[in-house]
Amino acid sequence: MPPDFDRPLPAVVEHVNGTLRPSVVSVVVEPGPQRVVARVRGEIDMENADGLRRDLTAALEGSIRGLDIDLSAVTFCDSQGVHVLGDLNRLAHKAGKTLVLTALSRPVARLLRATGAQYVFIVRGWPPPKDLTTGGDPEPGP
C-alpha cells in the first residue's frame, strides 16, 4: 500500500517511550519590590517560544530594575529559547534594566555553551559539573 502523503501529520511527536505528549512550558512570576522573578518549567521550543516571550516580556515590563529568570526546571531548550532570552536581554538594556539567569538546567547550560551565548547573559547559577568517574552528579558537599 503506498504511503498516504495527503494525511496531515499529528500535532505531537511520539517520544522514545511510546507515549504522546505535547511540548509544554510554564512560567510562574513572582513580583518583588525592585525585581521580578520568573520560574520557567518544561520544554522550550518553536511551538511555545512566542507564548514564553509574551509572558517573560510582561514580567520584565512589570519590574523596576529587571528580571531574574530561573531555568533550573527546563528539561529541553532549542535555539528558539536562546532567541527569546536574547530578545529579552535587549529589551532590558533598552529600558535600563538587567536580565539575570539565576539558575540553569543542564540542557540550557549545554545550549548556551554550544552557541557561545553564555558570554551574552549574566548567569549566576550554572549546574554543577557531572562526576566523570561515575557519569553522574558529584556527591553534595557539607
Full-model pTM: 0.76
> What was the pLDDT predicted at 128?
84
Contacts of 77 (CB under 8 A, 6+ apart): 43, 44, 45, 71, 105, 107, 108, 111
Query: What percentage of the chain exceeds 70 in pLDDT?
Result: 75
Structural domain count of the chain: 1
pLDDT greater than 90 at residue 11: no
Q: DSSP string spanning 77-119?
A: E-HHHHHHHHHHHHHHHHTT-EEEEEEE-HHHHHHHHHHTGGG
Residue 139 falls within a domain, yes or no?
no
Question: What are the cell numbers at 7?
Answer: 494525511
Residue 12 falls within a domain, yes or no?
no
Residue 141 falls within a domain, yes or no?
no
Residue 119 falls within a domain, yes or no?
yes
pLDDT greater than 70 at residue 12: no
Residue 7 falls within a domain, yes or no?
no
Residue 6 falls within a domain, yes or no?
no
Q: How far is CA 128 from the centre of its chain?
A: 17
Residue 17 falls within a domain, yes or no?
no
First to last CA, the chain: 64
Domain residues for the domain of 80 are 25-123
pLDDT greater than 90 at residue 120: yes
Question: What are the cell numbers at 137?
Answer: 552528579
Residue 18 falls within a domain, yes or no?
no
What is the CATH number for 93? 3.30.750.24
**Where residue 131 falls among pLDDT bands split at 50, 70, 90?**
low
**Where residue 8 falls among pLDDT bands split at 50, 70, 90?**
very low
